[in-house]
Amino acid sequence: MNLEKKNKINDDLLRPVLHTSPWFYVILLVLGGIIVAGLGSWMYQMSHGLVVAGIKWPVYWAFYITNFVFWIGISHAGTLISAILRLVNATWRRPVTRCAEVITVFALMIGAMFPIIHLGRPWLAFYLMPYPSERGIWPNFRSPLVWDFFAISTYLTGSTLFLFLPTIPDFALMRDRTTGLRQRIYGMLSLGWQGTTKQWHRLESAMQIMAIAIVPVAVSVHTIVSFDFSMSPVPMWHSTVFGPYFVAGAIFSGIAALIVAMAILRKALHLEEYLHPVHFHNLGKLLLTMSLLWGYFTFVERLTVWYGNAPAEMAVFWETQTGSYAPLFWTMVFCNFVIPLPLLGIRRLRTITGTVIASSLIVVGMWLERFLIIVPSLAMKNLPYSWGFYRPQPVEIMITIATFAAMAFLYLLFSKFVPIISIWELKVGAHPRPVLTPQEEEEAQELWRVRP
């Protein structure tokens, strides 16, 4: 690759960082407004108590815990996918990895807020910390909530470092391209990076180990989130399939979120030359695999319950299949399986537009899935006299909307301060690649061609 090409990559990918469009501030302002409204709702809930939320006996886990599980699931978009693609040395990953890793860090931060919002009295959140105290609360390492604490902390630490390490050389690049305060900040963030052969070698070795370590951690995180449910003798929760079901669902929703984010970035930051149809095509294939896997798990879970015919479980089963939750259930099936299957399965439809439509539906479908796992089971526990109903209240709806705005807000800010595509990795990807067979070459050319 010649110097002009390298400089073009630098200029194209640093443009969003160095130049700000007025639209940036407008969007930031709108998103900020929604976040403030969400914070206001939370303050209102704090001052009036959880009575303003829809959660009441017997449904104590509802929107907030749905959001918690949903965002932890979305966090699987980044680090896990990026680590897997690194390990299998998928060369097309290069423009995708940072977009993905950022989602993980922000989604985990947002997800981890929900148990605190759900507490009602967040100033007592330190009660959750596993340390011995005089209040008669013991650190209970046998509680799935403590496992959550350890798993999410480990994943957040690992993911933040996994995002930060390969960004160091790009911080050094920005240090050289900026002046004044910005130069000083980027200089500090680059840690004095030079780019010696030894530094590159060490960085790549470290990233390899991180990738190996982060995959099982990511799998464990959503397995442990599933344990929050499957360790309880609640109808349709106490299931051995929940671990892999949750992990598959998390990867599924994560890839969908990544595709949507990439499409927005491509359009908004004019990254058409870097985020090619092939990236959407390949992620679309992954999404198709996960859609099939999700369909398989849902079928297995439903069939096992139906075949067992236990009265308490069947009550929840029929309520979701044909009862008051049926519209949500069938919307979920259509969003996660019925519509994505042709959109992603038929090659001609697996375009950028096709994958984005499928992904947007999947994000909605997966939120519904989390809701349908949590609420109907709690509303219809073993004894009919303890059944109840849940109706979300404006406070909960506003906080939920605000978290989506917060995700977009943080993502937007990040892309303003850090190149959203790893510049040095992209340059490495442009090094000469192995010769393909004529047919493979033709297919590759077709996919890399820029098209809407």
Partner 1 sequence: MKAVYALYADPDSAQLAVDSLRREGVAERSITVISSEPFEEYEFSRRDKPTWIFWLATAGGAVGLILAYLLASTTQRLWPLVTGGMPIVAMWPNLIIMFELTMLGAIIMTVITLLITARLPTTRSKLYDPEVSSGKILVGVENAPDDSIEKLKQTLRATGGEVNAG
Spatial neighbors of 392 by CB under 8 A, at least 6 apart, are: 54, 62, 63
Distance CA 320, CA 298 (A): 13
Min dist. Cβ of residue 129 to partner 1 (A)? 12
Structure tokens belonging to residue 289: 């695999």
- Closer to partner 1 by Cβ: residue 206 or 314: 206
Contact window for partner 1 (CB under 8 A) among 62-70, 76-84, 134-142, 255-263? 134-142
| 210 in contact with partner 1 (CB under 8 A) | yes
- Closer to partner 1 by Cβ: residue 13 or 361: 13
CB 276 within 8 A of CB 448: yes
| Per-residue x/- track, 223-262, partner 1 (CB under 8 A) | -x--------------------------------------
Spatial neighbors of 250 by CB under 8 A, at least 6 apart, are: 72, 73, 74, 75, 76, 222
Residue among 19, 135, 142, 433 that touches partner 1 (CB under 8 A): 142
- Closer to partner 1 by Cβ: residue 154 or 331: 154
Min dist. Cβ of residue 60 to partner 1 (A)? 20
Min dist. Cβ of residue 150 to partner 1 (A)? 4
Distance CA 168, CA 170 (A): 5
Q: Which residue has the tokens 């519904």?
A: 368
Residue among 48, 121, 184, 201 that touches partner 1 (CB under 8 A): 201
Distance CA 252, CA 359 (A): 9
Residue among 90, 145, 165, 436 that touches partner 1 (CB under 8 A): 165
- Closer to partner 1 by Cβ: residue 294 or 424: 424
Q: Which residue has the tokens 């400089």?
A: 7
| 138 in contact with partner 1 (CB under 8 A) | yes
Min dist. Cβ of residue 93 to partner 1 (A)? 16
Q: Which residue has the tokens 């493979």?
A: 440
Structure tokens belonging to residue 277: 């149809």
Residue among 39, 109, 217, 333 that touches partner 1 (CB under 8 A): 217
Distance CA 226, CA 113 (A): 18
Count the Cβ atoms, other than its own, within 10 Å of residue 94. 22
| 150 in contact with partner 1 (CB under 8 A) | yes
